[in-house]
C-alpha cells in the first residue's frame, strides 16, 4: 500500500511537477525510475510522492533551496530533462516552502 512521504518537521521545501503526458512510454518509465534512484542519493533529498490520471503530479521534498538547485543542475538529470518534449504535452514546476504539516 502506498503512503505519503515521511518528512521532517517544517520548514523544508517541495518541488511540485505537474504534467500532461503524450501517449506512449517512449522510455519514460525507465528514465523516471533512474531519476528517482539518483535523486534519493542527493544531499538534502527528503522524499517523493506521485500520482497520475489525466494530469500527473509529482512532489519531491528537499531540505534547502541549495539542494534543489544542485539537483536541477545534476548532469544526468539535465540530460533526462532535455527529453521533456518526447514525454510531455505541457508541464509546470513550482518550488514551495512548507511551513506547516499535519495529518495522520
Whether 103 is in a domain gets the answer: no
pLDDT band at 104 (very low <50, low <70, confident <90, very high): confident
Angle at CA of residue 2, ends 87 and 15, nearest 5°: 50
Whether 83 is in a domain gets the answer: yes
Containing structural domain, residue 57: 12-98
Task: Report the Cα–Cα distance between both ends of the chain, in Å, rounded.
Answer: 15
| pLDDT tens for each residue of 44-90 | 999 999 999 999 999 999 999 999 999 999 999 999 999 999 999 99
Contact 11, 64 (CB under 8 A): no
State the total domains in the chain.
1
Whether 5 is in a domain gets the answer: no
Q: Across residues 8-32, what is the average pLDDT?
A: 95
CATH number of the domain bearing residue 89: 3.30.70.100
Amino acid at each position: 500500500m502506498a503512503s505519503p512521504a515521511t518528512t521532517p518537521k517544517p520548514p523544508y521545501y517541495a518541488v511540485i511537477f505537474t504534467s500532461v503526458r503524450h501517449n506512449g512510454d517512449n522510455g519514460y518509465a525507465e528514465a523516471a525510475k533512474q531519476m528517482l534512484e539518483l535523486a534519493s542519493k542527493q544531499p538534502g533529498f527528503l522524499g517523493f510522492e506521485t500520482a497520475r490520471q489525466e494530469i500527473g503530479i509529482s512532489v519531491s521534498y528537499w531540505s534547502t533551496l541549495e539542494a534543489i538547485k544542485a539537483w536541477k543542475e545534476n548532469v544526468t538529470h539535465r540530460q533526462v530533462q532535455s527529453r521533456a518534449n518526447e514525454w510531455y504535452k505541457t508541464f509546470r514546476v513550482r518550488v514551495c516552502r512548507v511551513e506547516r504539516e499535519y495529518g495522520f
